[in-house]
Structure 1
Amino acid sequence: MAGIVIREAHFPGRAPIEAYGNGGFRFADMSHRGSLLCLPSGIYGWEPASPPALSVDDFARVLAEAAEIQILLVGTGTDLRPLPAALRTALREVHISADPMSTGAAVRTYNVLLAEDRAVAAALIAVD
């Protein structure tokens, strides 16, 4: 008999974010504790190595799906933080326009652009 199997958090579809706060998000009648990547291939649990100092490595999955993404909204928590130059360069090289903003603003903007069927993705740092 096998024990509990913990799988990588993944929702295989696109869905608006219904709520955020308390360290997580609600979407598609589910909840997730922690940060999220909302990509064309689905919604993934995401834990950047150091949220205040995001790196190119934190966005490997985004870069892998670059052909399907035009706009990347980066929810940087409760405060707006600029993206590091190396990350901006890596995204620009694959023709992704990155817009950092507070997580709340990123959630609202993501939902609007998703409803408009735009080529949007979001990297959302959880807030309390």
Structure 2
Amino acid sequence: MRLNEIVFNDAKPVDGYGPGFFRIGGTVIEGPVITSPSGTRTWGGLDDVDALADLVAEADVIFIGMGAEIAHLPEALRDRIEAAGAGVESMSSPAAARTYNILLSEGRRVALALLPI
């Protein structure tokens, strides 16, 4: 079996999560969070549409973790992101974090917004 070291460049992978927090690139952040090649920061949740729309410039796909369970995105939010030119996928936060890490390790242009579990 061939093993390759993963290089994440500027973006940071999700290292872990628990009730109310996420650990991204070794830093623990309480509450909702956004991470992308430009950095990791707190997020105002689904009402903070501008923060998600800003990610379109640096990502082809934005993964949104909806907490412990999968839920649909508000239609207006989905429409705004897609109209700006990026794909958007909603899933549970653990699934979103795993998917983000995989695509990030492949060098893809992805961003992630997570609601706590």
What is the number of residues matched between the two proteins?
108
Larger Rg, first or second structure (1 or 2)? 1
1:4-15 map, 5 Å: 13-15=10-12
Q: What is residue 33 of structure 1 aligned with on the other side?
A: 30
Q: What is residue 82 of structure 1 aligned with on the other side?
A: 72
Identity of aligned residues (%): 35
Please state how far the C-alpha of 1:64 moved relative to its aligned partner: 2.2
Which residue of 89, 99, 102 maps to 2:92? 102
TM-score w.r.t. structure 1 length?
0.78
What runs of 5+ residues in structure 2 fail to find an aligned partner?
1-9
Q: Contact between 1:39 and 1:121, CA under 8 Å: does it hold in 2?
A: yes
C-alpha separation between the residues in 1 aligned to 2:89 and 2:54?
18
Residue 71 in structure 1 maps to residue 61 in structure 2: yes
Q: Contact between 1:73 and 1:121, CA under 8 Å: does it hold in 2?
A: yes
Amino acid at match of 1:30: T
What runs of 5+ residues in structure 1 fail to find an aligned partner?
1-12, 49-53
SS at match of 1:117: coil
C-alpha separation between the residues in 1 aligned to 2:26 and 2:70?
28
Amino acid at match of 1:105: A
CA root-mean-square deviation: 1.3
Residue 118 in structure 1 maps to residue 115 in structure 2: no
C-alpha separation between the residues in 1 aligned to 2:40 and 2:27?
11
Please state how far the C-alpha of 1:61 moved relative to its aligned partner: 2.1
Amino acid at match of 2:112: A
Please state how far the C-alpha of 1:14 moved relative to its aligned partner: 1.5
Deviations 1:45-104 (A, max 9, x none): 1132xxxxx34xx13123124122110101000111111111111011111111000000
Deviations 1:84-127 (A, max 9, x none): 11111101111111100000000100100111111100110011
